[in-house]
Amino acid sequence: MSAIRLLVGTRKGAFVLTADGQRRKWDISGPHFAGWEVYHIKGSPADPNRLYASQTSGWFGQVMQRSNDGGKTWEAGGNEFKYAGTTGTHLWYDGTPHPWEFKRVWHLEPSLSDPETVYAGVEDAALFRSADGGRTWQELPGLRSHPSGAKWQPGAGGMGLHTIIQDPSDAKRMFVAISAAGVFRTDDAGETWRPMNRGLRSEFMPDPTAEVGHCVHRIALHRSRPGVLFMQKHWDVMRSDDAGQSWKEVSGNLPTDFGFPIHVHAHEPETIYVVPIKSDSEHFPLDGKLRVYRSRTGGNEWEALTKGLPQRDCYVNVLRGAMSVDALDPCGVYFGTTGGQVYASADGGDAWAPIVRDLPAVLSVEAQTLP
Amino acid sequence: MIRVVLPVHLRTLAHLDGEVALGVDGPVTQRSVLDAVEARYPMLRGTMRDHVTQKRRAFIRFFACGEDLSNELPDTLLPDAVAKGAEPFLIVGAIAGG
């Protein structure tokens, strides 16, 4: 029988939540790396027991961890993230040039085919790769040295490269998203990159439709249709049908189109999920009601999913990396909150129940479907 | 032997209990002690000082013999009592936050 393993990164450690295919009863292990921020944990699609974790601390910096047994035991890997070549500058919050400085790893994306290869998206925004299981890391400098790099500027949470998506149909194509620069795509395995932000509009920018500078919060795609991308931007939910070359707004009837995560159903490429948040100055659900919104039409038409979710006095946030889906049928959907709850739906979002209520603030959730 | 006390999070990371006893070749300085700690526990590289610049991380402090040695130059000799193992070299996570 299949099993589900949820990899949960929090402000104070990592937790591994496991259940059988019924997804009713969960075992919780952790905290792993207690007291450290764990921005992200993700398993290798080629070897689900190979996990990578980003462990970080304001005191002690970045530590990388690797597990070969699905999170039961861990070993520290290499943690030297050295920018390639001349470091250069990007723009600081006040618009002045600021040298690139490594701060932490936000996102880990293991290769689709090789457990030893993993990509890391870091703050200040850059993309690194390890081909030796996380022992050493090398920058793919073509991204950061893009001519627009000197104009990139941090969002409120820092200038993080927070999303990496590999195209399952083309080993040389990859998408990344950076706050607040936007989406970039490579078609040559990371050698060169192009901004993919046409159609985005950000009113806070001097030129609202500029090529770079957009605060993209998350992008997602379905593996069966890698040319269709979905985006939760700072404001606006967007869709691209040409692999990022142009975007159109699909916020439709959402009560607010601000938010952080966006995800695609495992078996229905036009079914997508967002968690609307009141505004950029009030990071909590509208009217104190925690509602996931689902569109079965690839955007524009949205329905509120509320069953089992608190519908009063709820003022948590759901961060960009804190939503995931499993591959069972019906599809399981999961998200974690800054209040420490991890919610699960075993029926595609129709009904929800908390797996656990009192973890530290949840930074990331990744679901693994195990044989 | 030089005695070194690490903060709890770094002891956990290095899988050790209590203080560390290390042999240091040559002059006993902040740099040579940290070199010896990192050589024995490679997972601690980068957690106390920057990989490249070797500068102390902002929230790491060094104490010994009742003195704050955090801002001493890395090649300054540590007190005799540390060099002789009578007193430990303390690596401390700064009190920060509320």
8 Å CB contact between A53 and A43: no
Confidence of residue A202 (pLDDT cuts 50, 70, 90): very high
Residue B81 falls inside a structural domain: yes
pLDDT for residue A354: 98
The minimum CA-CA distance between A314 and chain B, rounded to whole Å, is 25
* Amino acid (one-letter) located at A355: I
pLDDT for residue A106: 98
Q: Among residues 261-280 of chain A, which lie with CB inside 8 Å of chain B?
A: none
pLDDT for residue A133: 98
Enumerate helices (H) and strands (E) in chain B, giving the number of each.
3, 5
Tokens 């560390």 belong to residue? B20
Q: How far apart are CA B76 and CA B18, in angstroms?
A: 26
A80 has a chain B CB within 8 A of its CB: yes
Contact at CB, A61 and B47, closer than 8 angstroms: yes
Structure tokens at A235: 């404001």
Domain containing B78 — which CATH number? 3.10.20.30
Quick one: closest CA in B to A82, which residue?
B52
- pLDDT score of A205 more than 60: yes
Q: How far apart are CA A55 and CA A364, in angstroms?
A: 12
A43 strand-pairing partners: A51
Q: Tell me the per-residue pLDDT of A259-297, one tens digit each, with 9 for 90 and over.
A: 999 999 999 999 999 999 999 999 999 999 999 999 999
The count of other CB atoms within 10 Å of the CB of residue A62 is 21
Residue B98 falls inside a structural domain: no
Q: Tell me the per-residue pLDDT of A303-335, one tens digit each, with 9 for 90 and over.
A: 999 999 999 999 999 999 999 999 999 999 999
A304 strand-pairing partners: A293
Average pLDDT over residues A122-128: 98
Average pLDDT, whole number, for chain A? 97
Structure tokens at B20: 């560390």
Contact at CB, A63 and B13, closer than 8 angstroms: yes
Structure tokens at B6: 């690490």
Q: Among residues 25-64 of chain A, which lie with CB inside 8 Å of chain B?
A: 34-36, 57-63
- The secondary structure of A176-192 as a DSSP string is EEETTTEEEEESSTTSS
- pLDDT score of B97 more than 90: no
Q: How far apart are CA A58 and CA B96, in angstroms?
A: 10
8 Å CB contact between A235 and A215: no
Helix, strand, coil share of chain A (percent; to 5): 5, 40, 55
Residue B48, domain extent: 2-93
Which residue out of B12, B43, B53, B95 would a mutagenesis test of the A interface target, given it has the greatest number of A Cβ atoms within 10 Å? B43
Residues on chain B touching A76 (C-beta within 8 angstroms): 13, 43
Residue B51 falls inside a structural domain: yes
Q: Which of A36-45, A84-93, A159-168, B63-72 has the lowest mean pLDDT?
A: A84-93
Q: Tell me the per-residue pLDDT of B48-87, one tens digit each, with 9 for 90 and over.
A: 999 989 999 999 999 999 999 999 999 999 999 999 999 9
Helix, strand, coil share of chain B (percent; to 5): 25, 25, 50
Q: How far apart are CA A70 and CA A325, in angstroms?
A: 18
Total tally of structural domains belonging to chain B? 1
pLDDT for residue B63: 97
- pLDDT score of A342 more than 90: yes
Residue B88 falls inside a structural domain: yes
Q: How far apart are CA A193 and CA A209, in angstroms?
A: 19
pLDDT for residue A86: 86
ipTM tops 0.90: yes
The CATH number of A3-370 is 2.130.10.10
Structure tokens at B19: 């203080």
**pTM score over 0.95:** yes
Name the helix (H) or strand (E) containing A370.
strand A362-370
Residue B50 falls inside a structural domain: yes
- pLDDT score of B98 more than 70: no
Q: To 5 degrees, how large is the angle CA B74–CA B78–CA B79? A: 160
pLDDT for residue A9: 98
Compute the count of residue pairs across chains A and B with CB atoms less than 8 Å apart.
Answer: 42
Contact at CB, B9 and A35, closer than 8 angstroms: yes
Which residue out of B47, B91, B92 would a mutagenesis test of the A interface target, given it has the greatest number of A Cβ atoms within 10 Å? B47
